[in-house]
């Protein structure tokens, strides 16, 4: 059969569950940020350090590294390139300049036109009066020779290459070439040199792109100076340098900087988020029922925060005294073992972060916390799974103690050389196992009470015959009590057969009829001959009978019964009709005047396999009491008929039971009932003779035995 979606679940909003997840995430972040924030100091360069500060993570010595980079870049040779466009451009400019200077020659320097002509013909050059006079007085041959020699000398300069930055040297060479010709005055050579300097440019220029690329390549090869985590940056009593201050600023341990390690906080936030996503994804695939239950999600969040909070506190004593297994045990006992497996991994990650944040070092301690948590947590789940005795938690604590010590020794022998330290760590991790068991024993009842949980220990307490409701049933409704005992045996056997919670089915069966305590004499099993229904209207009788599930829920709520028990009490009749009173009412009033819905139980129909088997066990036990045929075949036919009737009425449609489960439950019911109604040997009627006294018979036989003894002895000798 297919399971229908429960309308109540359909109405539930995911907002409270999402809100709890967000609040839990923020609380975990606050906890981790608090333990990860480094202590800050008021230090300055040139001050004597009062303390020794160790690098909490790898930190770069930025100052020294930059010095090495600058040296490497400065050592790179400059790269040049030939600019072939420079020489023709310079020669053309000088040629044009000499051509324009030719206009000045022959002008009269007294009328003021010479100075104006100089500014007009060669505006790029600032002529002095002496320059203009020199040009104006120069004859044609001298001017032509100067022009030719200057252009020739400049061409020679470019032939020998003019390097960028060497322009002045090129001009001096130009002056030397012109002087060597011994045809020009010093003033003429100086004027020519200055004139050429206006347009002279280097044809061998620096290749900026190639040079910069070479410098960046050299800089990239410089290894940064790194202070590895755990290395002392500043030692007590030393003078603090600017280099050390820069590293302390990088670590965010100086009060003056008020810096925040954004990268570290981002990494922590991302890792916590991924851990929670891992847990939620696992629950969405394997534990959907838990994920849809706001109460259980809240409990899971409480266990998560409680475990991490306790780990933060105990790490003030020692970093290895972290009771991670406490959260794993609580999840196993209060929720589900499979859920505890993923919680074990999540708690190992989170408490590894807490340990690393408080110690300031992501090293061996982190590995030890992760390994011990995963290994010992898994072993503790295997030990306490499906166990009801609280003493098992103590044994689990001892198991975690031993597993932690062995795991710590193994990891320590791999990563450390100081065996003394490893032994000390092993003792502390062993103590964390014992602490986990003690805290679990103390917190389990408290969380059971706060969340009203149905746990094996809680169910064992509720199954105690001294419970007030059971005591009342024994005294006030003994028939109902004995009926409930047999129903409990039937329900537990069927639940175990189909893989449901047998203990829950048994305890639910103990209390399924406690509503009858309100009017015990209106139920057949408690009547001593007088039946008040004989004097009661059938509709009133039906109302009294069908009210007992609701009355039972009200009584159970006063004693804070867990929700699954209340569901079994409420659902054990589903919405089946009370046919007996319906038939009486039809006979009295006619079928057209009677609505069968007035004779139905209020429901709802069973929603769980445990509630379903209690319903079936209740029906089968009541019918088996009155059946005349109690043979194996007769009981099997009766069981199958009753179960088929419930299925045809749709009473099992809302449960996750399959047809295979129904068949297994049928066989379990038959096994229990065949034991209850087993055939006995019929004892014959006869008179039993009085018993003889054994002692007296032995005393009478004693003299005869003594007399026979010598004869026997003689006979043997003969």
pLDDT band for 683, please (50, 70, 90 cuts).
low
Task: Indicate whether 689 belongs to any domain.
Answer: no
pLDDT at 343 over 90: yes
DSSP per position, 437-481? HHHHHHHHHHHHHHHT---HHHHHHHT-TTSHHHHHHHHH-HHHH
What CATH number does the domain containing 504 carry? 1.10.3210
Task: Indicate whether 553 belongs to any domain.
Answer: yes
Q: In angstroms, rounded to a whole number, what is the distance separating the alpha carbons of residues 707 and 714?
A: 12
Candidates 453, 518, 431; CA nearest to 480 is 518
Candidates 323, 336, 345; CA nearest to 297 is 336
Which H helix or E strand runs over 226? strand 226-227
Candidates 69, 61, 50, 47; CA nearest to 249 is 61
The angle at the Cα of 318, spanning 316 to 319, to the nearest 5 degrees, equals 95
Task: Indicate whether 320 belongs to any domain.
Answer: yes
pLDDT at 717 over 80: no
pLDDT band for 282, please (50, 70, 90 cuts).
very high
Q: In angstroms, rounded to a whole number, what is the distance separating the alpha carbons of residues 597 and 576?
A: 9
Token readout for 68 is 């090495």
Domain that holds residue 523: 459-676
- Say whether both 646 and 520 belong to one domain: yes
Which residue, chain included where needed, has tokens 């099992």? 652
Give the domain-ending residue among 165, 191, 206: 206
- Say whether both 472 and 443 belong to one domain: no
Query: Which segment of 381-385, 608-612, 640-644 scores lowest on mean pLDDT?
Result: 381-385
- Say whether both 397 and 499 belong to one domain: no
Task: Indicate whether 557 belongs to any domain.
Answer: yes
Residues recorded for the chain:
718
DSSP per position, 532-572? GGGGS-HHHHHHHHHTHHHHHHHHHHHTT--HHHHHHHHHT
Candidates 411, 117, 49, 29; CA nearest to 254 is 49
- Say whether both 523 and 382 belong to one domain: no
Give the pLDDT of residue 255. 63
Q: In angstroms, rounded to a whole number, what is the distance separating the alpha carbons of residues 324 and 539?
A: 60
If DSSP codes are grouped into helix, strand and coil, which group holds residue 254?
A: strand
- My answer on whether omega of the bond before 561 falls inside 30° of 0, hence cis, is no
Q: How far apart are the first and last CA of the chain?
A: 90
pLDDT band for 332, please (50, 70, 90 cuts).
very high
What mean pLDDT comes out for the span 324-349?
93
The pTM of the whole model exceeds 0.85? no
Task: Indicate whether 234 belongs to any domain.
Answer: no
- Say whether both 139 and 156 belong to one domain: yes
Q: Could you give the number of structural domains in the chain?
A: 3
Instruction: Kindly state the DSSP code that residue 227 receives in the 8-state scheme.
Output: E
What mean pLDDT comes out for the span 651-656?
92
What mean pLDDT comes out for the span 63-79?
83
Report yes or no: 18 and 276 within 8 Å, Cβ to Cβ: no
Q: In angstroms, rounded to a whole number, what is the distance separating the alpha carbons of residues 409 and 371?
A: 11
- Say whether both 435 and 340 belong to one domain: yes
pLDDT in tens, 346-384: 999 998 888 776 554 445 677 888 889 899 999 999 988
Task: Indicate whether 242 belongs to any domain.
Answer: no
Give the pLDDT of residue 668. 95
Task: Indicate whether 38 belongs to any domain.
Answer: no
Candidates 412, 340, 323; CA nearest to 379 is 340
pLDDT in tens, 303-318: 999 999 999 999 888 8
Which residue, chain included where needed, has tokens 């009412």? 585
Token readout for 192 is 């020519």
pLDDT band for 713, please (50, 70, 90 cuts).
very low
Q: In angstroms, rounded to a whole number, what is the distance separating the alpha carbons of residues 454 and 499?
A: 17
Contacts with 103 (C-beta within 8 Å, 6 or more apart), sequence order: 117, 121
pLDDT in tens, 492-551: 999 999 999 999 999 999 999 999 999 999 998 888 888 898 889 999 999 999 999 999
Q: In angstroms, rounded to a whole number, what is the distance separating the alpha carbons of residues 652 and 282?
A: 29
- Say whether both 573 and 602 belong to one domain: yes
- Say whether both 309 and 367 belong to one domain: yes
| Of 439 and 369, more confident | 439
Query: Which segment of 60-74, 208-222, 314-328, 590-604 scores lowest on mean pLDDT?
Result: 60-74
Give the pLDDT of residue 196. 86
Q: Let me know if 490 is exposed, middle or buried by CB neighbors in 10 A (0-12, 13-18, 19+).
A: buried
What are 546-551's contacts with CB under 8 Å, separation 24+?
546/573, 546/578, 546/599, 546/600, 546/601, 546/602, 547/515, 547/518, 548/513, 548/515, 548/516, 548/518, 548/519, 548/523, 549/515, 549/573, 549/601, 549/602, 550/515, 550/602, 551/515, 551/516, 551/517, 551/518
Task: Indicate whether 333 belongs to any domain.
Answer: yes
Report yes or no: 615 and 572 within 8 Å, Cβ to Cβ: yes
Backbone angles phi, psi at 590, to 5 degrees: 90, 145
Q: In angstroms, rounded to a whole number, what is the distance separating the alpha carbons of residues 377 and 70?
A: 54
| Of 374 and 64, more confident | 374
| Of 98 and 430, more confident | 430
pLDDT at 657 over 90: yes
- Say whether both 103 and 131 belong to one domain: yes
- Say whether both 423 and 324 belong to one domain: yes
Residue 262 has a CB neighbour count (10 Å cut-off) of 9
Which residue, chain included where needed, has tokens 């906890």? 31
Backbone angles phi, psi at 78, to 5 degrees: -70, 140
Candidates 298, 299, 238, 304; CA nearest to 276 is 304
Give the domain-ending residue among 453, 488, 506: 453
Average pLDDT in the chain? 84
pLDDT in tens, 246-279: 777 776 667 666 556 677 788 889 999 999 999 9
pLDDT at 603 over 50: yes
DSSP per position, 200-262? ---SEEE-HHHHHHHHHHHHHTSPP-EE-TT-EEE-TTSBPPHHHHHHHHHHT-BTTT----H
Beta strand spans in 27-170 (E): 53-54, 59-60, 80-82
Q: In angstroms, rounded to a whole number, what is the distance separating the alpha carbons of residues 288 and 558?
A: 30
Token readout for 18 is 């999402």
Give the whole-number percent of the chain exceeding pLDDT 90. Answer: 39
Q: In angstroms, rounded to a whole number, what is the distance separating the alpha carbons of residues 237 and 465?
A: 74
Q: In angstroms, rounded to a whole number, what is the distance separating the alpha carbons of residues 274 and 375?
A: 21
Backbone angles phi, psi at 655, to 5 degrees: -100, 160
DSSP per position, 42-77? ---TTSBPSS-EE-SS-EE-HHHHHHHHHHHHHTSP
- Say whether both 355 and 380 belong to one domain: yes
pLDDT at 71 over 90: no
Give the pLDDT of residue 5. 41
Give the whole-number percent of the chain exceeding pLDDT 70. Answer: 87
What mean pLDDT comes out for the span 142-158?
87
Give the pLDDT of residue 256. 62
Contacts with 34 (C-beta within 8 Å, 6 or more apart), sequence order: 312
Q: In angstroms, rounded to a whole number, what is the distance separating the alpha carbons of residues 585 and 604?
A: 24
Q: In angstroms, rounded to a whole number, what is the distance separating the alpha carbons of residues 369 and 346?
A: 12
Give the pLDDT of residue 214. 86
Q: In angstroms, rounded to a whole number, what is the distance separating the alpha carbons of residues 82 and 201?
A: 12
- Say whether both 578 and 636 belong to one domain: yes
């Amino acid at each position: 059969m297919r399971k229908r979606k429960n309308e109540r679940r359909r109405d539930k909003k995911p907002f409270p569950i999402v809100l709890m997840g967000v609040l839990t995430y923020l609380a975990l972040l606050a906890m981790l940020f608090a333990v990860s924030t480094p202590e800050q100091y008021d230090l300055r360069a040139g001050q004597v350090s009062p303390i020794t500060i160790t690098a909490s993570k790898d930190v770069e010595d930025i100052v020294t590294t930059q010095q090495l980079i600058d040296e490497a870049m400065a050592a790179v040779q400059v790269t040049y390139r030939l600019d072939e466009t420079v020489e023709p451009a310079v020669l053309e400019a000088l040629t044009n300049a000499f051509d324009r200077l030719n206009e000045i020659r022959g002008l009269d320097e007294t009328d003021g036109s010479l100075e104006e002509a100089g500014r007009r013909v060669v505006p790029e050059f600032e002529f002095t009066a002496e320059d203009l006079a020199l040009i104006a007085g120069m004859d044609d041959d001298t001017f032509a020779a100067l022009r030719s020699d200057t252009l020739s000398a400049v061409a020679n300069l470019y032939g020998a290459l003019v390097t960028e930055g060497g322009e002045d040297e090129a001009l001096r060479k130009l002056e030397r070439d012109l002087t060597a010709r011994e045809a020009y005055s010093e003033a003429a050579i100086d004027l020519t040199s200055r004139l050429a300097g206006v347009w002279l440019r280097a044809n061998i220029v620096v290749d900026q792109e190639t040079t910069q690329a070479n410098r960046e390549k050299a800089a990239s090869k410089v290894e940064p100076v790194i202070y590895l985590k755990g290395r002392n940056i500043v030692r007590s009593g030393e003078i603090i340098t600017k280099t050390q201050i820069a590293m302390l600023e990088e670590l965010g341990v100086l009060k003056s900087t008020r810096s925040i390690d954004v990268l570290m906080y981002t990494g922590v936030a991302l890792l916590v988020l991924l851990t929670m996503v891992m847990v939620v994804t696992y629950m969405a695939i394997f534990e959907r029922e838990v994920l849809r239950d706001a109460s259980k999600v809240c409990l899971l969040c409480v266990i998560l925060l409680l475990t991490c909070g306790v780990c933060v506190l105990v790490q003030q004593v020692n970093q290895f005294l972290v009771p991670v297994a406490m959260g794993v045990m609580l999840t196993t006992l209060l929720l589900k073992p499979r859920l505890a497996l993923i919680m074990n991994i999540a708690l190992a990650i989170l408490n590894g972060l807490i340990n690393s944040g408080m110690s300031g070092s992501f090293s061996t301690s982190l590995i030890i916390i992760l390994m011990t948590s995963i290994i010992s947590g898994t072993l503790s789940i295997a030990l306490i799974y499906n166990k009801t005795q609280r003493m098992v938690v103590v044994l689990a604590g001892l198991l975690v103690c031993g597993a932690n010590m062995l795991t710590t020794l193994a990891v320590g022998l791999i990563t450390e050389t100081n065996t003394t330290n490893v032994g000390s760590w092993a003792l502390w991790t062993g103590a964390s196992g014992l602490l986990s068991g003690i805290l679990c024993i103390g917190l389990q009842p408290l969380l059971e009470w706060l969340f009203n949980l149905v746990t094996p220990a809680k169910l064992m307490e509720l199954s105690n015959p001294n419970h007030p409701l059971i005591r009342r049933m024994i005294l006030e409704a003994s028939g109902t009590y004995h009926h409930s005992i047999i129903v409990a045996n039937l329900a537990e056997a069927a639940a175990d057969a189909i893989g449901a919670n047998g203990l829950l089915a048994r305890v639910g069966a103990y209390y399924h009829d406690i509503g009858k305590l309100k009017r015990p004499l209106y139920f057949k099993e408690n009547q001593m001959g007088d039946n008040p229904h004989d004097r009661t209207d059938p509709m009133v009788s039906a109302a009294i009978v069908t009210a007992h599930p609701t009355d039972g829920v009200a009584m159970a709520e006063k004693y804070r019964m867990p929700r699954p028990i209340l569901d079994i009490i409420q659902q054990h009749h589903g919405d089946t009709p009370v046919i007996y009173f319906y038939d009486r009412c039809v006979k009295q009033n006619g079928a057209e005047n009677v609505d069968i819905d007035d004779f139905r139980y209020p429901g709802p129909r069973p929603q769980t396999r445990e509630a379903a088997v209690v319903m079936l066990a209740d029906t089968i036990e009541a019918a088996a009491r009155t059946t005349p045929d109690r043979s194996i075949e007769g009981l099997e036919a009766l069981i199958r008929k009753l179960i088929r009737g419930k299925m045809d009425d749709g009473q099992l449609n809302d449960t996750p039971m399959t047809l295979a489960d129904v068949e297994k439950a049928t066989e379990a019911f038959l096994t229990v009932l065949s034991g209850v109604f087993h055939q006995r040997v019929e004892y014959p009627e006869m008179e039993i003779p009085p018993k003889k006294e054994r002692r007296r018979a032995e005393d009478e036989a004693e003299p005869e035995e003594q007399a026979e003894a010598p004869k026997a002895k003689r006979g043997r000798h003969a």
